[in-house]
Amino acid sequence: MKNFPVFVFPVSLEFYLNARHTYKQLLTVYNPYEFSVNFKVLCTSPNKFTVIDPEGVIAPQSCIDIIVRYTQPSASHCNTTDKFRITMYDRNTQQALGKRDIPTKLIDGEPSNTNPESLGDNFHPLASRSTPQKQTEEHPKVICNHPSHRDNPPVNVVAVAVSICCIAALLLPTQPEATVNSQLPEWLHIGSNLKLVFSFVLGLVSMLVLRP
């Protein structure tokens, strides 16, 4: 037999004579390996127990639940330890890979409802090293002044003036338009290349003024 560890939870079973709900319990068997395995359940006292699906296959990295029922609880069986043995086998060679024994016991009475935290040593809450006042001083509140909360900067007067000049220049007549019927002097007629320059400058100034 190889020495593969067999993972089962819980590691022991306890049945209580006066608590019928404990007559049925679950054993979870895990297969953490990268290959499927066969399993088989044996018992030292098969006349006391029934096991649903006592053998089968566990897929890789999976688990199964085995239902165990105590069928013949009696006072004469109390405080007697029985065992279940769960063995894993290689699916191809049927060679045993490992085994795990699960002790079981029938206890006279009912399960205790005592809070486990109240058992054993007495535990007490720990006092904090710092008082709430000190904690407040160590972690003061910080008010963040985000730039978006500040007053908006004043509009650039120079940029607005340049924009107005560019717009006015673009409204002037374009050479070589006829100036006979024009009421404006000839020197106010500008060329198309110059108007392209004014348009470019107006676009840059507009981006500067209108950006958030």
Domain-located, residue 146: no
Domain-located, residue 2: no
Q: Which of 68, 94, 48, 90 is nearest to 8 (CA)?
A: 68
Q: How far apart are CA 18 and CA 106, in angstroms?
A: 10
- Residues 85, 11 share a domain: yes
User: Which stretch of 26-30, 101-105, 206-210 has the lowest confidence by average pLDDT?
Assistant: 206-210
> At which of 110, 125, 145 does a domain end?
110
Domain region containing 26: 7-110
- Residues 93, 162 share a domain: no
Element (H, E) at 202: helix 192-210
- Residues 173, 79 share a domain: no
Q: Which residues have C-beta within 8 Å of that of residue 37, sequence separation ≥ 6?
A: 31, 57, 58, 88, 89, 90, 91, 97
What is the residue whose two structure tokens read 């950006």?
A: 211
How much is the pLDDT for 162?
77
Q: What 3-state class would DSSP assign to 172?
A: coil
- Residues 25, 82 share a domain: yes
Peptide bond into 176 cis (omega under 30): yes
| Neighbouring C-alpha atoms within 13 Å toward the C-beta of 22 | 17
Question: Over the stretch 99-157, which tens digit does the pLDDT of each residue have?
Answer: 999 999 999 988 876 444 444 555 556 555 555 554 444 444 444 444 444 455 555 67
> At which of 90, 110, 130 does a domain end?
110
Instruction: Please provide the size of the chain in residues.
Output: 212
Domain-located, residue 70: yes
- Residues 170, 100 share a domain: no
The structure's pTM equals 0.52
Q: What is the CATH number of the domain that holds 21?
A: 2.60.40.10
Counted domains in the chain? 2
User: Across the chain, what does the average pLDDT equal?
Assistant: 78
pLDDT over 60 at 178, yes or no: no
Domain-located, residue 201: yes
Domain-located, residue 130: no
> At which of 77, 92, 110 does a domain end?
110
How much is the pLDDT for 105?
94
Domain-located, residue 160: yes
